Amino acid sequence: MTAAATNARIRADRKKKTRQFITPEGVDLELKIASSGLRFGALVLDLTLIMLSLLLFSLLVAWGGIATQSDIAVSIWLLGAFVLRTFWFIGFELGSRAATPGKRMMGIRVVARDGGRLTADAVVARNLIRELELFLPLMMLGVGAAEEMVSAWTAVAGVVWSLTLSLFLLFNRDRMRMGDLIAGTWVVMAERAKLDADIATDGAGDAMRFSEEELAVYGIFELQELERVLRGKDPRAMREVADAIRAKIGRPIAEEDDVFLLSYYRQLKARLERKLLFGKRREDKNASD
Amino acid sequence: MTPARAVDAPSFSTSRFRAEREADWIAFDLLLTKLEKKGAKALTSDELLQLPLLYRATLSSLSIARATSLDKALLGHLEALSIRGYFLVYGVRESRLNRLRRFFLYDWPAAVRAVWKETIVIALIIILGALTSYSLVANNPEWYFNFVPEEMSGGRDPRATAEYLQSTLGHGKEADDDAESGLHVFATYLFTHNSQVSILSFALGFAFGVPTMMLEYYQGIGLGAMLAVFAGKGLGFDFGGWLFIHGTTELFAAALSGAAGLRIGTAVVFPGARGRLQAASEAGRTAGKVMVGVILMLLVAGLLEGFGRQLITDTMLRYGIGTLMLAFWLAYYYVPRRQDVT
């Protein structure tokens, strides 16, 4: 596969994950659908946290029960466990960040699909369905194990059937669970990006001048890769990139890598942004200049 | 922000654009963090007024940056900030207390009213199940063992004596004395168990409602079989009271959870003029409201079953309480009220 095709594929993938989401002000927020891996990670984190809090809660109740010598502790434990299990997700998703602790750590959140606000009933619906998605396969396994008259194959068929429901999100483009489908919600990326310093202004950067021909070899994709390398500040990666650029434009190795790259980056950015202002967007080096 | 500076600058530069706007973004970020951590109450009125201004400034920066800048870090930051801002500014429109009030006054009964057709269908299914097993068991008691598993019945089967059956209803000679201390445990257990079952019966609804209907039919079966056993020993009336005190609430809740599930099932199969997805999500929202109500109803039923039934042993009083509860739910749900917003 050629480099051009790879770049095109990366861009197409990115586009496939972005959904139009227009605010009342008319700006498209371009929400990105959270990947199934992130969703799974968030679920595992949440379940672990629930287990941990349940353990803590159990210890607390057991201590209280022994101290007071009464069986009201059993009731409290039953109720507490039920509330924890049912309302952990609902409670957190009703908050202003619309995300459970697991989702927060993964940088994702729940959003209403129609762009309206996320209502309480939608949150309730999507999380009650979770009960089914999580526990039906387990129940099928349990039934299969408990009742000997059910043959192993029936149990396997049951588990597979229930797994298709649980893994529903793998089979659609928008990564919707059964619950998302019914509640009319999406889970999207809500990462926080820190505002990094503007590398186009600070320090010395105009040490070298590049000619129009030397700058004309690259497009936006390469510029942004260069930006990533510059922000990463890894000397080995900088050396490789600097050598690649030098070879491409035919410059001898004469100056420090970072000075060279920074100067090249600035002038390339200035050139491409100027073109952008005139309505010419050159996606990558393979596009026409 | 000042257009005068842009005029005397001959060339537009994205670095200058950033230098001019950056203060707004940082202020907006700080404001959002404060809002997320401490809620809207923590903001001063000045900050509240600032919020929409900064939000719009950030969105406009995003539009300009997308059209002019190739700085990925900048674009990423502005996008993340705008998304965060959008959901906070447009997210919550009423306080939790207000939401709660509206739910109890309007949303809950309105949602239950909206699924009235499904409720009737599910109620008929439960009754059908009860009638089926009743007639079968009344004719041939052996059928009983097909309907009610051994460990569930706790000795309440056709082989038991009338005295024993009487005692299980709580006002025989052998009414347990030591059982009272465990009442609340029993009540909580019943509540959590029943809630899980109704959540399941709701959640199964999207499979075209078929599993939901089967589950409800099965509930009716168990009920009818028990009734037949007690009626066969001439205890039908007492058993009715034993069941009625909490059963009106519990079975009503069971019917509603089934109706909520069925609502989703029918919306998926017959979406009408809407898209299938949209129909499913609209039904899901109504059903979600019904389900919160169902869990609350089951809490009441659990209390009635765990405490009420064990402490009140007079059959007529049991009937009275059961009827009262039924009347209360019916009135709460179906009596029209003036200020319906949904």
Chain A touched by B50 (CB under 8 Å): no
Is B90 exposed, middle or buried (CB count within 10 Å of its CB: 0-12, 13-18, 19+)?
middle
Q: Is residue B291 part of a domain?
A: yes
Q: Is residue B342 part of a domain?
A: no
Contact A128 B184 (CB under 8 A): no
Q: Are residues B135 and B35 in the same domain?
A: no
Q: Are residues B128 and B223 in the same domain?
A: yes
Q: Is residue B323 part of a domain?
A: yes
Q: Are residues B149 and B250 in the same domain?
A: yes
Structural domain that includes position B89: 14-93
Its pTM stands at 0.77
Of residues B5 and A133, the one with the higher pLDDT is: A133
Q: Is residue B267 part of a domain?
A: yes
Q: Are residues B112 and B86 in the same domain?
A: no
Would you say residue A208 has pLDDT above 80? no
Q: Are residues B121 and B197 in the same domain?
A: yes
pLDDT at A51: 92
Using an 8 Å Cβ cutoff, are A269 and B71 in contact?
A: yes
CB atoms within 10 A of CB A146: 9
Q: Are residues B64 and B210 in the same domain?
A: no
DSSP string of B237-267? HHHHHHHHHHHHHHHHHHHHHHHHHHHHHHH
Contact B185 A74 (CB under 8 A): yes
Using an 8 Å Cβ cutoff, are A167 and B266 in contact?
A: no
How many angstroms separate the Cα of B2 from the Cα of each of A38, B5, B21?
43, 6, 10
Q: Are residues B54 and B115 in the same domain?
A: no
Instruction: Find which of A121, A224, A228 to mutate to test the B interface (most B CBs within 10 Å of its CB).
Output: A121
Q: Which of B59, B93, B127 represents a domain boundary (last residue)?
A: B93
pLDDT band at A39 (very low <50, low <70, confident <90, very high): very high
What's the whole-number average pLDDT of chain A? 82
Nearest-angstrom CA–CA distance, B242 and B50: 62
SS3 A186: strand
Q: What percent of chain A has pLDDT over 70?
A: 89
Q: Are residues B23 and B76 in the same domain?
A: yes
pLDDT at A122: 84
Of residues B196 and A210, the one with the higher pLDDT is: A210
Q: How far is A60 from chain B (nearest CA, A)?
A: 18
Q: Which of B39, B63, B93 represents a domain boundary (last residue)?
A: B93
Residues of A with CB below 8 A from B277's CB?
A: 181, 184
Contact A184 B285 (CB under 8 A): yes
Q: Which of B76, B93, B110 represents a domain boundary (last residue)?
A: B93
DSSP string of A82-97? HHHHHHHHHHHHTSTT
Q: Is residue B109 part of a domain?
A: yes
Contact B203 A72 (CB under 8 A): no
Q: Are residues B238 and B301 in the same domain?
A: yes
Q: Are residues B56 and B84 in the same domain?
A: yes
Instruction: Find which of B70, B262, B296 to mutate to test the A interface (most A CBs within 10 Å of its CB).
Output: B70
**What chain A residue is nearest to B34 in terms of C-alpha separation?**
A96
The total of structural domains in chain B comes to 2
User: Which mean pLDDT values do the consecutive 10-residue runs of chain B (342 residues) have?
Assistant: 42 79 92 85 87 93 90 89 88 69 85 90 90 85 72 64 69 43 66 76 75 81 81 79 83 89 87 84 86 86 78 82 90 77 46
Nearest-angstrom CA–CA distance, A194 and B74: 9
Would you say residue A148 has pLDDT above 90? no
Contact B264 A182 (CB under 8 A): yes
Nearest-angstrom CA–CA distance, B333 and A49: 38
pLDDT at A40: 92
User: What average pLDDT does range A56-62 have in this prediction?
Assistant: 89
What would the two tokens of residue A235 be?
Answer: 């000397």
Q: Are residues B46 and B106 in the same domain?
A: no
Q: Is residue B340 part of a domain?
A: no
pLDDT at A211: 85
pLDDT at B339: 62
Q: Is residue B133 part of a domain?
A: yes
Q: Are residues B219 and B113 in the same domain?
A: yes
pLDDT at B151: 57
In this structure, is the dihedral angle defined by the CA atoms of residues B274, B276, B278 and B284, taken in order, positive or negative?
positive
Q: Is residue B339 part of a domain?
A: no
